[in-house]
């Protein structure tokens, strides 16, 4: 079953990326590793994996690490798949409406920037100061190292089929390093190291991400 194998590969790939990101807390190759991870995440998974990303405004996703300041210019997509018209990524005048890209739109334009080779590290005084991405049609993002790190971690998490632990949709938990998934109150769930702990939305998502139900808490 070729399709199943590819799909499994997508998940393995994103899990391995999570592992790398969590390890690279510092070190001389931190930025290089992060850029490699970002490139891989934007290129390797299949379309259907990206389609599973939540179509929510980036502005509401503080933990994703990309600030409005970083999104210098966002290209308006008039014929977007989701049918909703995106506004330019600038501050709204009334302050409470969500202007700017949704996560799926942002990832889509980042992918186009990478496909077009429009990615370059900004260096000042021999130090990395940000990663610049453009799609050649108006889209322009500059990510700092911290933003890059958060974004890569989050993207790997979501492409791997996980969600935030404290998110409303989190019903189960799992470690990306082991097979079982649990109910959050399971004694085995409590033994998972915090840095490895991931939220999972549904039983189906957990199984799709390569997990099996815990025999103790029977999720």
Q: Please report, as ranges, the residues that interact with Zn ion according to CB under 5 A.
A: 182, 186, 188, 214, 216-217
Q: Residue 104 or 182: which CB sits closer to Zn ion?
A: 182
| Minimum separation from the CB atom of position 99 to Zn ion (A) | 42
Q: Which two tokens stand for residue 35?
A: 């850029």
| Minimum separation from the CB atom of position 214 to Zn ion (A) | 3
Q: How far is CA 130 from the centre of its chain?
A: 18
Q: Residue 127 or 191: which CB sits closer to Zn ion?
A: 191
| Minimum separation from the CB atom of position 193 to Zn ion (A) | 15
| Minimum separation from the CB atom of position 163 to Zn ion (A) | 18
Task: State the Cα–Cα distance between residues 199 and 191, nearest whole angstrom.
Answer: 15
Q: Residue 142 or 217: which CB sits closer to Zn ion?
A: 217
Q: Residue 120 or 187: which CB sits closer to Zn ion?
A: 187
Inter-CA distances, 189 with 16, 166, 195, 196, 214, Å:
21, 15, 13, 11, 9
Task: State the Cα–Cα distance between residues 60 and 120, nearest whole angstrom.
Answer: 27
Q: Which two tokens stand for residue 18?
A: 């999570």
Q: Residue 42 or 186: which CB sits closer to Zn ion?
A: 186
CB 92 within 8 A of CB 86: no
Q: Which two tokens stand for residue 155?
A: 């993207």
| Minimum separation from the CB atom of position 216 to Zn ion (A) | 5
Task: State the Cα–Cα distance between residues 155 and 142, nearest whole angstrom.
Answer: 17
| Minimum separation from the CB atom of position 188 to Zn ion (A) | 4
What single DSSP character describes residue 67?
-
Q: How many Cβ atoms from other residues are within 10 Å of residue 204's Cβ?
A: 10
Q: Residue 70 or 175: which CB sits closer to Zn ion?
A: 175
Q: Which two tokens stand for residue 81?
A: 């798949």
């Amino acid at each position: 079953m070729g399709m199943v194998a590819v799909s499994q590969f997508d998940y393995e790939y994103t899990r391995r990326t999570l592992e790398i990101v969590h390890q690279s807390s510092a070190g001389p190759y931190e930025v290089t590793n992060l850029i490699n991870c970002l490139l891989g995440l934007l290129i390797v998974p299949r379309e259907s994996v990206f389609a599973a990303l939540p179509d929510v405004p980036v502005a509401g996703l503080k933990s994703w690490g990309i600030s409005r300041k970083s999104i210098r210019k966002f290209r308006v997509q008039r014929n977007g798949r989701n049918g909703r018209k995106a506004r330019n990524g600038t501050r709204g005048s009334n302050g409470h409406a969500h202007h700017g890209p949704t996560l799926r739109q942002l990832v889509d334009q980042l992918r186009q920037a990478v496909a077009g080779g429009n990615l370059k590290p900004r260096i000042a005084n021999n130090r990395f100061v940000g990663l610049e991405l453009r799609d050649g049609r108006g889209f322009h993002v500059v990510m700092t190292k911290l933003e890059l790190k958060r974004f890569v971690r989050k993207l790997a998490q979501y492409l791997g089929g996980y969600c935030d632990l404290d998110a409303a949709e989190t019903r189960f938990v799992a470690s990306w390093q082991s097979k079982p998934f649990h109910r959050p109150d399971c004694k085995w769930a409590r033994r998972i190291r915090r840095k490895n702990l991931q939220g999972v939305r549904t039983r189906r998502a957990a199984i799709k991400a390569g997990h099996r139900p815990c025999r103790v808490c029977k999720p």
